Amino acid sequence: MSTRAIIFIKVAVYGIVIIALSYLLYFDEKRVNILRLKYRLKWGTPSQKEAVLNLFMQEYQRSLVPSVINAILDNTPLPRHGDTGWGVVYHQAATAMCEFARLVDGKSQEERGRREYSFYDDVGRASFTRQKEVYINWKKWWSVNKHAKITRPKRPLVKRPVTH
């Protein structure tokens, strides 16, 4: 074998090793968890979908926003917890987005427009056309606010008793 062939083989092998290591480092535990949550929101059981939306409302993972917006088109009924049974993925997803958006732009659901961004007035089930409206509005909002900073609500100061 010529020297050039040996050098070419070494470069190719090193390149493959670098690509493989980059791939392994890219999929760290946090990214794998996000992928798992996205999968559960799209294909999971109703309980899994509910859990992902509840987690999103607690932690507001920016990387889940596109999946939550897509969930606005999901008609899966959520598990009943002694309520009226109107809980549906699309309603919960729109509510989660309203709370997330409040942290981004400071607007309440009323200021943003309940009709445009939620299913507040839809008693029971919304039509697919209505879901599509809300979905499109959230897609537009996200394209404008994708890089905006999230402002976490400030916790009130706890007054401690004065002791002398």
Q: Which residues pair with 88 in a beta bridge?
A: 77
Residue 35 has pLDDT above 50, yes or no: yes
Q: What angle do CA 115, 118, 123 make, to 5 degrees?
A: 80
pLDDT value at position 2?
82
- Pick the closest to residue 67 from 88, 45, 46, 36 (CA basis): 36
Q: What is the pTM of this model?
A: 0.74
Helices 29-43 and 46-59: crossing angle in degrees, nearest 10, is 130
- pLDDT band (50, 70, 90) for residue 160: very low
Looking up tokens 């890089």 gives 147
- pLDDT band (50, 70, 90) for residue 143: very high
The predicted model gives 141-150 an average pLDDT of 90
Helix (DSSP H) and strand (DSSP E) numbers for the chain? 8, 0
Q: Which residues pair with 77 in a beta bridge?
A: 88
Looking up tokens 């007054």 gives 159
Looking up tokens 């606010």 gives 145
- The mean pLDDT of the chain is 84
How confident is the model over 96-122, as pLDDT tens digits?
999 999 999 888 888 988 889 988 877
Residue 13 has pLDDT above 80, yes or no: yes
Burial group, residue 57, by CB count within 10 angstroms (0-12, 13-18, 19+): middle
The predicted model gives 134-163 an average pLDDT of 75
Four-residue CA torsion sign, 16, 19, 22, 23: negative
